[in-house]
Amino acid sequence: MRLILLENGAMVSEFFCAREAIHIGSASSCRIHIPDSRIAHEQVVIFPEAGNVWVLQQLDNSIEVRVSGQNVHDKLELKTGDEIELGDFVVRVFPDQVDQAGPRVESTGHSTVAQLTRFVQSQLPPGAVIKKVDEPLSVHPSHVHRIGAINIALSGCNQVEELMNIALREFASTFAAQRVWIGIRRVNYGAMEYVEGRSMSGQSVDLPEYGDRVKPRVLDRAQFVFVPLWSTDERVSILAGPLNGPDGTLGMIYIDSGDSGRKFDLQDVDYFIVMSNLFAVQLDAIFRAITKQRQATMDGEVSVAHEIQARLTPRKLPQSDQLQFGAFREPGRANTGDLYDVVKLGNGLLAVIVTHCPHGGAMPSLLMSAAHAAFRIAAMHQDAPHVFLRSLNWILFDPAKDRSLNCFIGTIDPATGVIQYSLAGAIGAFIIDARGEERPMRPTPAPAALGLDRSVQYQLLTETIDSDENLVLFTPGVTTAKNSKGEVFGEARFVNILCDGFGQLASQLLKEMLTDLRAFTEGGMQPDDITVLLAHRE
């Protein structure tokens, strides 16, 4: 069955229900909760009868309930499209609709149909109590000192495993629980990353079936669940609740009385909620500290990479009467991994390399150093560009595929303008002609980046820079730089700026390019290096 809740004609939420009784009222425990004090705690109930028949029955006669304009006196069979009128609220009924589609999201939250299905299957025994995080609590004066002591113990806790150990101990001793289980995750969705359970005797235990039954309510709905007695046959009392962070549920705590005969009460519920919140606050603080520490580590790695990058960057580019070079790099604020170099060979040619490492952390430092050393040796031996790429690909390859490198390598004859080159991955390469039109040099499809597949064969390609033309090589950082509105600088904008400056010397063209880039990214973000190498032929 599908039910849609509307308030003053506007949709509030929708529900997909299995064949079960659905209570509608102002009580928060009702499946369809209507926040109106004029509505009874449990105003009506919808339940299935033989076949596919669904019936509505009024539970409280204090207000008039109408279904599609008809008064309800006892029971009424519901039909598709019927509207249950409750003050300013209407529940629209579709008895013949079941969940057959993919995930659907409630308009008032983030619960998918899969979550709702689990929720339907997690029906609780009679007498169970549900409390939400925003409900008022009552704490007995005798508990205040214990809460303070727990808070002091948690204040020095900076590891998740340490917090879990304290939680298992404190919940077991505070509630005389026979079993305590805790599951924690770093984000507010997905499986638990840290899991541990412990019995009163200190043995490891898994989450029992009772815990699995209430898990959807705790994790998907952030509800605290109290079951005084599971059944007459299974005389187990349980408490379970979420570890709520500012952005959602970070985990779950479950305790039960086992076969001890202990029966939790409502005062235990509020005490359990207070303790859960104490642990949740400290857990969030631990995750934030870990994130901060990781960020500091990453910032340190970026600083080291910038230092290595600066040492590998040539202080001066070779120039000639026929060919003038210019280069600039705008350092990335989060990642760095670009390298460029130009070397004059013994045969009069100029060898050029531009690389980009798409990884973060310490990897760019390793790959920049390896590429620079390999390039200088290849230049000394005058290896052909495609041979160099094949060799470097073998050096960098790793089955983990975490050592990839984008690379342009080529040789230029200043006298004729002939370029022999080879390309791997996402390095931009084109020529701007004397009329300001670009001529792409990247083959289609682009060859794979280095370090991913040893079997790749890289092509040797040829192009010519004529008089008054510019060779332009650049790294992918232009596609990630954003302005204050979140718009990317983009390759097309970059190419247009350079085309507008056709015929200029490389140094002047770069100056204009840098001015436009910095004006664009002011107030925005530029996470990756942007490196541009230009060669202007007279």
Q: Which residue type sits at 333?
A: R
For each of the domains in the chain, give its residue range(s) and CATH number, in order of start: 2-118 (2.60.200.20), 130-289 (3.30.450.40), 313-537 (3.60.40.10)
> Would you give per-residue pLDDT tens digits along the chain (538 residues)?
788 888 877 777 777 777 778 889 888 778 888 888 888 888 888 988 877 788 998 888 878 888 988 888 778 889 888 999 988 889 998 887 654 333 333 333 334 434 434 444 456 787 788 888 778 888 888 888 888 989 898 988 989 999 999 999 999 999 999 999 999 998 887 889 999 999 998 999 999 999 998 998 898 888 999 999 998 888 999 999 999 988 889 999 999 999 898 999 988 999 999 999 999 999 999 998 888 887 777 778 788 888 899 899 998 999 888 999 989 888 887 788 899 999 999 899 999 999 999 888 788 999 999 999 999 999 999 999 999 999 999 999 988 888 899 999 999 999 999 999 999 999 999 999 888 889 999 888 888 999 999 999 999 999 999 998 999 999 998 878 888 888 888 888 888 888 887 767 777 778 888 888 888 888 888 889 999 999 999 8
- Token code pair at residue 360: 């973060």
Residue-level pLDDT at 98? 54
Residue-level pLDDT at 359? 86
The answer to whether 140 touches 246, Cβ cutoff 8 Å, is: no
Residue-level pLDDT at 246? 87
Residue-level pLDDT at 519? 87
The pTM (predicted TM-score) of the whole model is 0.54
Residue-level pLDDT at 503? 67
The answer to whether 488 touches 482, Cβ cutoff 8 Å, is: yes
Distance of CA 515 to the CA centre of its chain: 34
Residue-level pLDDT at 340? 96
Residue-level pLDDT at 118? 45
Q: Which residue type sits at 228?
A: P
Whether a cis peptide bond, with omega within 30° of 0, leads into 318 is: no
Three-state DSSP at 85 gives: strand
SS3 string of 413-468? CCCCCEEEEEEECCCEEEEECCCCCEEECCCCCCCCCECCCCCCCCCCEEEECCCC
Q: Quickly count helices (H) and strands (E) in the chain.
A: 9, 27
The answer to whether 179 touches 202, Cβ cutoff 8 Å, is: no
Residue-level pLDDT at 122? 52
Cα end-to-end span (Å), the chain: 77
